[in-house]
Structure 1
Amino acid sequence: MATATWRYRGDPEGERPAALVRFANGRLERPESLRFTVYRNRDSAHPRKRHRRIVVRLRDSGRAARGCVTAVHSGATASGCNGLQVQELLIAQVSETERLCYVGHNFGSQATKCNSLCRYFVGVLDKSSGQMEVYNAEIFNMQPLLSDNVMPDDTKEYQKKSYREKMDLCIEAFGTSKQKRALSSRRMNAVGSDIVSTAVTKAAANVIDAKGVTALMQDMAQDDVQNISAFLPPCHEDADRPEHVYKFEDLLSPAEYEALRVPAAALASATAEEMAKRAEERSLCSFVLEELKFLPTDEKSRDHKARCLWFLDTLIKFSQQKVIKKKHPMGPECPHIISKKLMKNFTSLTYNNGSIQNLISASMKAKITAYVIALALHINNFQTDLTVLQNDMKLSESRILDIAKALRLRVSKAKGVPGLENDQNHKLGTLSLPLPTQKAPEGQRKRKKMN
């Protein structure tokens, strides 16, 4: 049986161990065709830097290599390395990729940790003599470099890129056609968004420069007032008397006013016992119960106030509903012309489950509140307790104050008003001339969108 001996030779050249290269991806088809270049640090005097090496696999045809370890003499190609035979130690099957340039380092973050923990050797066996020459070796982990420049500065720039940018580079190099189209589309959309954003920013800057911030704030306030003004009764700003600002005829037409004569007669002729029973049963709202205590003795004035109170109570009760399902939602005692007015002017049509329904939306409730306040002003000589109406309509204070200010009322505390001396939280709304300047309601900045 033949025997063999080995002899340790150290480095193939002075301080140049053999390079074992291991490819990170791909499949090595023709290892004999690989060509490598080795770069070393120029600072040969530095004890650490003089050992630094960079191994570069030049671009060529074929597939990228994965899991392959190849021995190559430093500073030479694989086919001419002083007799060192190229050894293919491990092969893994992967998909075909584009031509790439691979770079490996024996220093820095890309260097394999095993170089500092282990020593590696390459043996060359002469079969005729049975003599094996053993040389020092280093392992280089070859990574694909997605750039034409293979200098170390480029790899530093690559490490600074975000995860998304690195993934995009991988898609450009290894992605399928579908992934590349998606990447191109995403980049085009990003460019389009940047263009639109730049154009909008520039246009906004031009408008601000032209009009000024103060004028823009005033325009915005005016728009907020106009949005809520769409649900207010017609306002006659040039009126010379408070009763002409919101005309009674705009709240109740003559025909509607006449239709209220019969249902209002029961209120006008109610006795004290009947009023106490109504208060106990809460069949009337608090505002109406309080005003019925002060009905005029004059028959015409008494009848007029009773009609207004009956309609105001009907409006408040109507606003408590959400979806109107009945043809006569306020009962048979409500005149037909009044029911028609409620359905036409204070509901929104909506389509639900195959049928059309009448809905009292948030905007419609705001409209009802505005008409209730305007009617209460006519009843109370153009000064009314907003807190009582707020409680009857189950609104927040900020909401009813916003509507009152949109109606151009002056809001104050109810101090000194008979019957309210002990309650300082009540708010009074007063309609007086000249009308206050329109301002954006404070709560409108956070209001919900009206349906």
Structure 2
Amino acid sequence: MAASCSIVCCEEESDKAVIVQFSNGTVKNPDQLQFSMFKNMDEKNPRKKNRRILVAESDRLSYVGDNFGPGSMKCNNICKYYVGVLNKRTMQMEVHNAQLFNLQPVIPGEVHIAKSQDTNMTYRDKVDSLIQAFGTKKQKRALTSRRLNQVGSDALHHAVTKAADTVIEQKGLEALQQEVAESGFKGDIALHLPPCNAEADKPENVYEFKNLLYPDDLSALRDAGANLAALSPEKLQEMKDQGGYLCVLYHLENLPNDNENRERILCCCFYLSMLIKLAQERTIPQTFGREEGCPHGIYNKLLRTFTMETYKNGRIMYVVSSSMRSKVAAYCLALQLHMNYMTANLTLLHRDLRITEPKMIEVAKSMGLTISKSPKVRGEEASLQNDSKYATLVLPLVRHDRFFEQHKRRRMV
């Protein structure tokens, strides 16, 4: 009668098995090989802590393989491999995670010669060698002068590097990376605008809707939009009293009667609410959007498009910098143009995004929009609407001149 066996799963990092294949053939005597595994010392960096180099040494050759870089096997990222080891004494099958390594022979001398010819000897070095050997006196004097200047620049570079190392030792690399991520890129806002077709013949083709939301995104947002459609007027008023997003509530209270257009506006409302919530965060938590029922594809799209990736304490973090917040404002504005006949309320949007009104107007001007004030109205919301500013997309686009503050000179008496 055959003996029964049980399966034990091993998930620890130290229990990982290694599957080796040799690129130049099959090893006849594997017992004569001595294997060594090397790992990256930067274990806090999640991108580098799993990097491994496997070395197999024999009397004649050495074989090297790694799991990172262009020469690594791509199947490790696509598939997950397991190896089962049967313990005949306990009759238990231990299942281990496994990684594949492709070992290639390393011939001493060939690699160093190729590097010295290809990388170490640049075109400038080759020309300098020719000048030093066959050049005129004038060319040799110019070469000597340039090398002296190069020594001075190298000394300056060494001093700057030493000063940078001192700052890193005092503050720490992670703290500096966090400061850079928080400060963001303070350059031109136009670098963070949606794709623009300034030569379009229709206003809706300037900032095309497909560049804001793909058809697959609309399909993924259909269920979330249906949940918004089920909200009652009492619930909408309660959300408004509790400080809900005013620009989203405005569109939910004024949904079109056309079913196709109505479904599209509902999907845009949910996506707009996720963009506003993203702009209000500083560091994106792992539970972002779960309470609202944000689809996983939309969650990945938001992180990929509107956040900066950094890491701290060995974990990847997603940070919304000031430049990314301006990018969110530009995409929200472009989305609202398609939702409201190429007109958007800048006052409601900047209050929801929690940015200043001049910043919101600067984003609208960089997009070539026409800025105007709302006409005087009477009623319950008169105080809000009378102070509102609107942005309208009119062809041709308006080219606003950048404002530079000029200080008046004091006249001497």
**TM-score, length of structure 2 as denominator length:** 0.50
